[in-house]
Structures are given as C-alpha cells and as structure tokens.
A and B are shown apart, each in its own frame.
Chain A
Amino acid sequence: GENVEQHPSTLSVQEGDSAVIKCTYSDSASNYFPWYKQELGKGPQLIIDIRSNVGEKKDQRIAVTLNKTAKHFSLHITETQPEDSAVYFCAASSSNKLIFGAGTRLAVHP
C-alpha cells in the first residue's frame, strides 16, 4: 500500500538552532503534502502545506520544500523556540485520504 516514511523519529536542538524533518512517499499521484504539529493531549494542528505545483513555501520561521522527482519533502524550522517542542507529522494525499508519517518528536532546549 501507499507509504510515508519520516525521519528522524526524535530530534533534540538548542533554542535558536534550526530543525529539519524529512519525509518520503511512495504514491506518484500524491499532490498535496501537509505538516501537522501535535501537542500533548491535543489533536494535530495544520502548520503548513504544499502542493505539487510548488517547490517551496515559507511562513515566518517554517518552510517546506518538495522534490516530486525524488518523492521527498522536508520541513524546516529556523530560530527554534521552546514552544516549538511537540510531535510533528508529515502526510501525503493518496486515493482521497492522507497517509501520515510516524511522527518526529522535537525537543527544543533553552
């Protein structure tokens, strides 16, 4: 079946550093790639998304890049802050649903 691989599973950075999370997908028909942030006890919150007709998108400190040829996309967080600590999920559209990666637990240390 369709699959999304996400790396790393955990990531620890110092406040102010950058964090990068990478995902690969298997369905060549995927054309929508959202990223979600999930805090403890809460549902996933959409933080940024990108469509296949765009290679990069930026929103303040977060950016996402997409390489359709290689079937991978990445989330970049710059100038990390302690409140960025959470679990991040990537996803790819496939057959009218989203296939999620297994998540990355990001810890930002003051």
Chain B
Amino acid sequence: GAGVSQSPSNKVTEKGKDVELRCDPISGHTALYWYRQSLGQGLEFLIYFQGNSAPDKSGLPSDRFSAERTGGSVSTLTIQRTQQEDSAVYLCASSFSNSDQPQHFGDGTRLSIL
C-alpha cells in the first residue's frame, strides 16, 4: 500500500543489546517524525526530520537514542544498550511539510526488553 511502513512490527531483545527500527514514509512526504507510546499512554515526541534541515532532536530521552534519515526517505531509529524502560511502541509518521500538515502514522514497532 501507500501508507507509512514500519519494521519490524515486533521486537523482543535482551537488556543491553542495541536495536534498530525502520520507517518507510509515504512517497513525497518531506517531514518524518518518531514518537514513543508507552502502554496505555499518549504519544511522546522523539525526533523530527524536515527535508535537508538539521533534525529536531529535542525529544530524545537520552544519548542512547539516535536516528537518521538517508536520502530524505527511509529513517532508522537506533537504541543502544537497551534498558527495560525502553519497552514501548515506537511510532513513525510522515507529512507533506511541517506539523501544520496532517501526519500519517504507521502501525508501529512494539519493542519489549527482557
């Protein structure tokens, strides 16, 4: 389909391991966002990419979290030395430009840290 695609849909890993989550945005969308959703909670902003501008990393909770967006399309969110509190659903969204345009979400990656 033409929606936002995220992989994997589920990831279980041991504490201390690194994980990499992938987001494939809607074609033509220049803005890409990562959010974290803990169980039964709202969406917590992590990072925002807009075109070739420097990303807004103001929501990243620690230096163990990083993200990149190659070629203005696919993005990866990397969590190093995972901790149990990192367990959550990680959601990606994309839009045509900035936050004043509708954001379309993928179904997320459910991350479980044992």
Interface size in chain A (residues, C-beta < 8 A): 25
List of A residues within 8 angstroms of B102 by Cβ = 34, 46, 49
List of A residues within 8 angstroms of B105 by Cβ = 36, 43-45
Binding site for B on A (CB under 8 A): 6, 31-32, 34, 36, 41-46, 49, 51, 89, 93-103
Question: Closest A-chain residue to B46, C-beta based?
Answer: A97
Q: A47 CB to closest chain B CB, in angstroms?
A: 11
Question: Closest B-chain residue to A43, C-beta based?
Answer: B105
Leading 5 A-B pairs by shortest Cβ distance: A43-B105, A100-B43, A102-B42, A32-B100, A93-B99
Give the total number of A-B pairs whose CB atoms are below 8 A apart: 57
Interface size in chain B (residues, C-beta < 8 A): 24
Question: Closest B-chain residue to A6, C-beta based?
Answer: B42
In the complex, the answer to whether B99 meets A32 with C-beta atoms within 8 Å is: yes
Q: Is B107 an interface residue (CB 8 A)?
A: yes
A41 and B99 in contact (CB under 8 A), knowing A96-B50, A97-B33?
Answer: no
List of B residues within 8 angstroms of A94 by Cβ = 99
Q: How far is the CA of A97 from the CA of B101 in the complex (A)?
A: 10
Q: Is B25 an interface residue (CB 8 A)?
A: no
In the complex, the answer to whether A34 meets B42 with C-beta atoms within 8 Å is: no
In the complex, the answer to whether A44 meets B99 with C-beta atoms within 8 Å is: no
A-B contact pairs, 19 of them (CB 8 A): A32-B99, A41-B107, A42-B107, A43-B91, A43-B108, A45-B105, A51-B100, A89-B43, A93-B100, A95-B56, A95-B99, A96-B56, A96-B98, A97-B56, A98-B103, A100-B35, A102-B41, A102-B42, A103-B41
A43 and B4 in contact (CB under 8 A), knowing A93-B100, A96-B98, A97-B33?
Answer: yes
Q: How far is the CA of A44 from the CA of B37 in the complex (A)?
A: 11
List of B residues within 8 angstroms of A95 by Cβ = 56, 99
Question: Closest B-chain residue to A41, C-beta based?
Answer: B107
